[in-house]
Amino acid sequence: MIHIDWKKLHSFVLASAFALTASVVLVPVSQAMAQVRTLPDFTDLVEQVGPSVVNIRTLEKVTPSDGSGGVDEQMLEFFRRFGLPIPNMPNVPKNPHQTPPKNHPPIPEDSQPRGVGSGFILSADGLIMTNAHVVDGADEVLVTLTDKREFKAKIIGADKRSDIALVKIEAVGLPAVKVGDVGRLKVGEWVMAIGSPFGLDNTVTAGIVSAKQRDTGDYLPFIQTDVAINPGNSGGPLINMRGEVVGVNSQIYSRSGGSMGISFAIPMDEAFRVSEQLRVLGRVSRGRIGVQIDQVTKEVAESIGLGKAQGALVRGVETGSPAEKAGVEAGDIIIKFEGKVVEKSSDLPRMVGSTKPGTRSSLTVFRRGSQKELTVTIAEIEADKVPAKAVEKVEKPKASSAGQALGLAVAELTDAQKKELKVKGGVKVEAATDAAARAGIREGDVIVAVANVAITNIKEFESALAKLDKNKAVSVLLRRGEWAQYAVIRPAR
């Protein structure tokens, strides 16, 4: 039988409890408070930047027409009952209960509302930045300040590629914004937007920077945020906690048309560069070299010895373009421009586009296993050209069985085909099956290189295949019409 000394046990428990309490109390209060983070207060920022943000309304002239433009009486009654403006129907009697928005003057009888957006004051003499899509197609632009003054604005210039526009009002002593350094902006940093979502003037929303350099396929990389941005916010400023404008709110990702927590802003350094050209020239001058490009996949990069998936794959070179004159060939991979690494294909148009036309710039290209340095004279960007249609085949020479192990049957190119494709040589694919078909090669493609070795005829094609390790993947550079691309053929397992 075990005997317990209850007095000793009681004393031990009390001592242990006291020691535990003492250890908790001894944690420094300052250390605990240092871990507490408070939410930011935006009130000072709103007072500071708010007066620089404007509401922009656009009008378009009404073209006289007969009747109601094809809208039946039931639909007209719907608009009247809910006090909505009747669209595109100048001869339909106006709703007597419908009044112009508060603080906005009546709309001229020969005009109708076209859209609502936002903008912000760049200079005290009335230069205002907004989105190009806000003023696109407008016959009249009206700018309303926070003090309720309204001005007719003149469009100085608009650039659809960057979605930046510059308008001017006749006023002085206006509160201009401060432009911030986008390079200092960090992911996770608090930012604020002011604009006119759904026409509601001077609406403030806030959030954090979700990502930088977000590539959406447009001409510029975007700042992604979770700030609530809705229709009408377009053209308004994205503001950091120092009260500086770091972006121009431009796009949202949405399935409903409203905010879903993903919005995009044009970086202010890019927007300001565009606005300066619009102010001076009324348009934006961009550089071009005349190549059609595609991304470089990891698989292709490894198979041709490039290693890292980077650069821009040249799929085609325009005839007479700066790139052709510099010696750029279809199948080249441009890995550097002016000494700067081209990380992904979308970087190249931005680098070249920001270069002044007439500048002699250096290109580093990866071609069949080695790097080459080229010099190109930048031209000014022009409308995209439509690729010429392929010329019909004139003759069909007998196909060779070379490459059967890879699922390829090829034939010699005729002189006419070489001239049409602007190639010195190669072999034409007559059939692609098995491994070749799985790699995406198809009949009509022209193979111009195998494993970084240039091919001009079937004899060279057979020789190149004979040197390959049949158990390893092989890279093939091919032409498809006017375009070049890589394919990686993997042997069957």
| pLDDT digit string, tens, across residues 171-200 | 999 999 999 999 999 999 999 999 988 878
**Residue with structure tokens 């308004």?**
236
Q: pLDDT tier at 157 (50, 70, 90 boundaries)?
A: very high
∠444-447-450 over CA atoms, to 5°? 155
Q: pLDDT tier at 91 (50, 70, 90 boundaries)?
A: very low
**Residues tagged active-site:** 133, 163, 234
**H/E element holding 212?**
strand 203-214
pLDDT at site 93: 43
Cα–Cα distances (Å) from 466 to 215, 301, 312, 439, 493, in that order, read 43, 23, 30, 20, 20
Instruction: Give the integer Cα–Cα distance in Å for 484 and 255.
Output: 36
Return the structure tokens found at 465.
Answer: 């295949």
E-assigned strand segments in 97-180:
111-121, 127-130, 140-144, 150-159, 164-168, 178-179
Instruction: Give the integer Cα–Cα distance in Å for 221 and 151.
Output: 33
| Residues ≥6 apart with Cβ < 8 Å to 346 | 215, 217, 221
Q: Which of 149-153, 199-203, 315-319, 467-471 has the lowest mean pLDDT?
A: 467-471
Q: Are 137 and 113 in contact (CB under 8 A)?
A: no
| Residues ≥6 apart with Cβ < 8 Å to 142 | 56, 57, 58, 59, 150, 151, 152, 153
pLDDT at site 257: 56
pLDDT at site 99: 42
Instruction: Give the integer Cα–Cα distance in Å for 467 and 450.
Output: 11
Q: Are 332 and 314 in contact (CB under 8 A)?
A: yes
Instruction: Give the integer Cα–Cα distance in Å for 392 and 384.
Output: 24
> CA-CA-CA-CA torsion for 20, 25, 29, 35, nearest 10 degrees?
20
Mean pLDDT of 43-56: 94
Mean pLDDT of 317-324: 91
| Residues ≥6 apart with Cβ < 8 Å to 65 | 90, 91
Residue 156 clears pLDDT 70, i.e. is over it: yes
Instruction: Give the integer Cα–Cα distance in Å for 144 and 104.
Output: 8
Q: Report helix, strand or coil for 339.
A: coil
Residue 386 clears pLDDT 70, i.e. is over it: no
Instruction: Give the integer Cα–Cα distance in Å for 102 and 87.
Output: 20
Domains, the chain: 48-168 (2.40.10.10), 178-281 (2.40.10.10), 287-380 (2.30.42.10), 404-489 (2.30.42.10)
Mean pLDDT of the chain: 79
Return the structure tokens found at 264.
Answer: 């995009």
Query: Residue 141 burial (CB < 10 Å; 0-12/13-18/19+)?
Result: buried
Residue 382 clears pLDDT 70, i.e. is over it: no
Q: pLDDT tier at 49 (50, 70, 90 boundaries)?
A: very high
Cα–Cα distances (Å) from 251 to 134, 139, 166, 221, 229, in that order, read 12, 23, 18, 12, 8
Binding residues: 133, 163, 232-234
Give percent of the chain with pLDDT exceeding 70. Answer: 74
Residue 294 clears pLDDT 50, i.e. is over it: yes
Residue-wise burial string across 462-474, b where 16 or more C-beta atoms lie within 10 A, e elsewhere: bebbeebeeeebb
Beta bridge partners of 437: none
Residue 238 clears pLDDT 80, i.e. is over it: yes
Q: In 3D, which of 109, 108, 153 has the Cα closest to residue 128?
A: 153
